Structure 1
Amino acid sequence: MKILALTNLYPNPLQPHRAAFNRHRFRFLAEHHALRLIAPVAWRDEWALRRSAARIPSDRRTTNDGIPVEHPRYWYTPGMLRSQYGRFFEASVRGAFDRAVREFAPDIVLATWAYPDGWAAVRLARRHGLPVAVLVHGSDVRRMDEFAARRTGTRDALRGADGVIAVSADLAARVVALGAAPDRVATVLDGVDRTLFRTGDRSAARQRLGLGDDRRHLLYIGNLLPVKGVDVLLEACRALDAQRPDWCLHLVGDGAERARLEAQAQALGIAGKVVFHGARPHADLPDWLRAADLFVLPSRSEGIPNVLLEASACGTPYVASRVGGIPEIASLGAGVLVPPEQPQALAEAIGHALEAPPAQPADGPRDRREAVSEIARFLARTAARTREPAPLSRSAAV
């Protein structure tokens, strides 16, 4: 099968750590299928990173994990004309899309993220008579009501696609409620790369990372964005500090909120116990997870967070918000769930988990290759179904 993927969630030369979960999903998909990627880069990101030593090639083409990738520039008006973002996205990637269809002749188009990626993919695929599937992640559906144009575009993308892949049952139900045909929606729970994420020696991991044994190490891995609730985690840590001083919080990741969160930690009087490590290569994350006493994910919204599956595979206990699809994977790890937006409840759960870590389950997450194989089978069925001739109506048959 030949798959043309369109997504903003993929690494590029300026953002090599971007959306590692999607990178590895596509890497495994390409092991058994021909794959080509269109991964646009927002013009504001290019401008912000213009002084970086890295450069996007002049032809905007790269190869990643053996996969040909084109990085068109995504032009849009920041904070204005949001109703046109889908059209801006479509116009920005149309040239790359048309070239890929001519050169690659795909069997199906796969977009990850509902709007504007999925919306544009549906329109572009229809121009070429190609079937299209949209993979939804969580916040693209769960938080679409923040802007009316996003809701309309998300609904149109899900209704127009030939197939929709949801990463949780909660998300699949929301997709159907928005008008996607139930028989065209598949729930595919993700897995982890078990060759990387597995249990290991905590002391050895700490030694490699330069962490001491004189503190209890709390860990957060993810983007520093409002939806991730790191501000709530900092408030919880101030409450925790009043009960026990033997902790240190490690924040692995980067994002637009970093400066504000650094200032918040300073204002709360805990800056000396909060370390911002920035983004780290995906291959480094297993050591961080093995080294931690406790992983914490205080998100306001989630689909199925891969980092919780990865923590579970490493045998690291966690405390997380009870949002989105997280309850669906709680049995796969040593997890404690708390309501979102409640720093005191989060602090109490962290304290209890440090004193008495929850029991590890007998079984953990599945291997990601199993999940990717399930996605591939769904794409093959979707492509085959769209090639089938439509049944004759009764009047036509007569």
Structure 2
Amino acid sequence: MLRVLVLSTLFPDLYRPNFGIFVERQTLSLAKRADVQVRVAAPRGVPPWPLSLLSRYRKLATLPSRENWKGLEVHRPAFLNIPASGGRFHARALTRALTPMLESIHRDFPFDMIAAEFFFPDGVAAVELGRRLGVPVSIKARGSDVHRWGRNPVTGPQVLAAGRTADGMIAVSEGMRDDMIALGMPGERIEAVVTGVDLERFAPRDRTEAKASLGIAGPLVLSVGALIPLKGHDIVLRAIAAMPGVTLCIAGEGPDRKRLADLIDKLGIADRVRLLGNVPPAEVASYLAAADAMALASEREGLANAWLEALASGTPIVIPDVGGARQVVRSDVAGRIVARTPEAFAAALRELLANPGRAGAVRATVEPFTWEANSARLHDYFEHLVSAYRLRLGCDN
């Protein structure tokens, strides 16, 4: 029996049901296995008073310190989040908050390893916690945790040190693995494990009926991602501005909303663009099934879940050559990989709209990416990690 302690500052809660939902889905799939037991530590970063009185932090403070979340035992300790520090103290504060809790959990649930689901601050703290508890540590790199925090002059040295010290690392794509190696992390300890997709929730439907249910007629393009500059929504908006009669829906929320709304007005496309805000997964599935194409102009990605979800829905994608793009778009059936310019996105979208492929053929491109396959690969990787650690210590049993 393999016992895993999942550590993730990205994990859904009562007030943020879509926050880190990919970590939740992966953990649920792993926990379904008869040969695995899982506990989850999902820390909450709360700033000192009076910032802790802000509504978003007050809500975090009311979350239970321990709960059953969809069958998972989840612990939610609070750690000190110091604003405007550039993350300098996050890992140290996280380690301090987690140490007594993990020591207590380990007495009742002697976990074999710690699986950190984000490189910063989770992975940095996990390395120190693993050393103290005498268990191996795996750190997963998903994208911005390495691309942003790993290149930040304040946090970058912490990320690199954690990568060089961890017993093993997981990258969500081969491209992500290459980026980690380029930063100076040991490639022989990095395993590329592509994420899974829910093939039941995300599936083709009658596109005309799906559009009608959303009150949309004519060509529809969907973009799924937080409203932040990194996602390049402005590029897609400018592309749509050059495509009369095409509707664009953007599912996501974030600090860039006003800037994007102003750009929509400036481009004169307010009648053809919907900013949907945060959308539940079931509703995202409806929009993906209705869309003729999904476009996401991210500056950086590891391997976006939205890519796989669109393809599983039978909807081709237009994306830049970032992260695991070439692992996902392996033929024109799946979509196009283009430059991050409005002109390139508009040209690719016009081509897909003029020559729509069969939804079944599009879906077939991602049918290997199941959560079952993902959990099987993770289990094999974790088993090997634990066995290798015990052999090094001379205590293999």
TM-score by length of 2: 0.89
Q: Distance in 2 between matches of 1:157 and 1:261?
A: 37
| Mapped contact 2:193–2:374 kept (Cα < 8 A) | yes
Q: Distance in 2 between matches of 1:313 and 1:287?
A: 12
What is the DSSP-based 3-state SS (H/G/I as helix, E as strand, rest coil) of the residue aligned with 1:302?
coil
Corresponding residue for 2:290? 291
Residue 386 of structure 2 is aligned to residue 383 of structure 1: yes
Q: Distance in 2 between matches of 1:122 and 1:69?
A: 20
Corresponding residue for 1:37? 40
Give 1:43-62 correspondences, 5 Å limit.
43=46, 48-50=54-56, 57=62, 59-62=64-67
Give 1:166-245 correspondences, 5 Å limit.
166-208=171-213, 210-213=214-217, 215-240=218-243, 244=244
Q: Displacement, 1:312?
A: 1.0
What is the DSSP-based 3-state SS (H/G/I as helix, E as strand, rest coil) of the residue aligned with 2:268?
coil
| Mapped contact 1:40–1:72 kept (Cα < 8 A) | yes
Corresponding residue for 1:139? 144
Paired letter, 2:114:
V
| Mapped contact 1:250–1:276 kept (Cα < 8 A) | yes
Q: Which moved more, 1:62-71 or 1:143-152?
A: 143-152
Corresponding residue for 2:29? 28
Paired letter, 1:309:
L
| Mapped contact 1:12–1:71 kept (Cα < 8 A) | no
What is the DSSP-based 3-state SS (H/G/I as helix, E as strand, rest coil) of the residue aligned with 2:330?
helix
Corresponding residue for 1:337? 337
Q: 1:327 to 1:46 in 2, by over 3 A?
A: farther
- C-alpha deviations, 1:138-183, integer Å up to 9, x for none? 2222334552122211111111111111111122223234444333
Q: 1:165 to 1:256 in 2, by over 3 A?
A: same
Corresponding residue for 1:394? none
| Mapped contact 1:312–1:365 kept (Cα < 8 A) | no
| Mapped contact 1:118–1:157 kept (Cα < 8 A) | yes
| Mapped contact 1:309–1:365 kept (Cα < 8 A) | no
Q: Which moved more, 1:95-104 or 1:282-291?
A: 95-104
Corresponding residue for 1:19? 20
Give 1:145-164 correspondences, 5 Å limit.
146-164=151-169
| Mapped contact 2:116–2:138 kept (Cα < 8 A) | yes
Q: Displacement, 1:378?
A: 0.3
Q: Distance in 2 between matches of 1:81 and 1:187?
A: 29
Q: 1:232 to 1:97 in 2, by over 3 A?
A: farther
| Mapped contact 1:115–1:157 kept (Cα < 8 A) | no
Q: Displacement, 1:308?
A: 0.8
How many residues are matched? 383
- C-alpha deviations, 1:304-359, integer Å up to 9, x for none? 1111111111110121112121122102752111112x122222222222222357
Corresponding residue for 1:125? 130
Q: Distance in 2 between matches of 1:49 and 1:203?
A: 41
Pairwise CA RMSD: 2.4
| Mapped contact 2:238–2:342 kept (Cα < 8 A) | yes
| Mapped contact 2:334–2:365 kept (Cα < 8 A) | no
Q: Which moved more, 1:371-380 or 1:77-86?
A: 77-86
Corresponding residue for 1:97? 102
Q: Distance in 1 between matches of 2:279 and 2:56?
A: 20
Q: Distance in 2 between matches of 1:39 and 1:51?
A: 15
Paired letter, 1:9:
L
Q: Displacement, 1:271?
A: 2.1
Q: 1:103 to 1:25 in 2, by over 3 A?
A: same
Q: Displacement, 1:389?
A: 4.1
Q: 1:91 to 1:225 in 2, by over 3 A?
A: farther
- C-alpha deviations, 1:34-80, integer Å up to 9, x for none? 1111112232697554499x776564222222001122223222222
Q: Distance in 1 between matches of 2:80 and 2:221?
A: 39
What is the DSSP-based 3-state SS (H/G/I as helix, E as strand, rest coil) of the residue aligned with 1:331?
coil
Give 1:61-100 correspondences, 5 Å limit.
61-80=66-85, 82-100=87-105
Q: Displacement, 1:269?
A: 2.1
| Mapped contact 1:232–1:343 kept (Cα < 8 A) | yes
| Mapped contact 1:107–1:130 kept (Cα < 8 A) | yes
Q: Distance in 1 between matches of 2:150 and 2:60?
A: 36
| Mapped contact 1:252–1:280 kept (Cα < 8 A) | yes
Paired letter, 2:353:
L
Residue 114 of structure 2 is aligned to residue 109 of structure 1: yes
Q: Which moved more, 1:306-315 or 1:172-181?
A: 172-181
Give 1:257-296 correspondences, 5 Å limit.
257-296=256-295
Identity %: 30
| Mapped contact 2:227–2:254 kept (Cα < 8 A) | yes
Contiguous gaps of at least 5 residues in structure 1: 392-398
| Mapped contact 2:223–2:251 kept (Cα < 8 A) | yes
Q: Displacement, 1:390?
A: 5.1
1:374 to 369, 377, 382: 377
What is the DSSP-based 3-state SS (H/G/I as helix, E as strand, rest coil) of the residue aligned with 1:148?
coil
Residue 350 of structure 2 is aligned to residue 351 of structure 1: yes
Contiguous gaps of at least 5 residues in structure 2: none
Corresponding residue for 1:321? 320
Corresponding residue for 1:248? 247
Q: 1:256 to 1:93 in 2, by over 3 A?
A: farther
Paired letter, 2:260:
L
Q: 1:55 to 1:207 in 2, by over 3 A?
A: farther
